[in-house]
Amino acid sequence: MENITVLVIEGNELNMKLVRNILLLGHYQVLEAGDAETGIQLAQEHLPDLILMDIRLPGMDGLQATRIIRKDTILSNIPVVALTSYAMQSDEQKAISAGCTG
């Protein structure tokens, strides 16, 4: 089986640990970033198969980071799935509007 790389951009250390451990159980290669700027840089360097994007990040938020990823011709086809532990009713539509896959 091909090694699938998932980039997790998550601002909360406990949430990062949880997501990391779940992905490692599935034998995924995991890249980690604690903020959007680092996440975008890692995406450009490693071209992951999937990006799991926290909505609320320190500095630039996950929605703005997703918009930047969607404008980058090399990164634009990578699926981005929004993650948040503070979901509001309107967050799903905001995430889709920003370019998240789900």
The per-residue pLDDT for range 53-74, each reduced to its tens digit, is 998 899 999 999 999 999 999 9
The structure tokens 């918009």 sit at 67
- pTM for the model stands at 0.88
Measured from the Cβ of residue 91, the count of other Cβ atoms closer than 10 Å reads 16
pLDDT-above-70 percentage for the chain? 80
pLDDT of 1 over the 90 cut: no
Q: Which fold has domain 5-98?
A: Rossmann fold (3.40.50)
CA angle 31, 88, 90 (to 5 degrees): 100
CA end-to-end span of the chain: 25
> Between these two residues, 86 and 57, which has the higher pLDDT value?
57
Tokens of 3: 């090694």
Q: Among 1-15, 34-48, 66-80, which is the least confidently predicted range?
A: 1-15
Domain boundaries, the chain: 5-98
DSSP 56: S
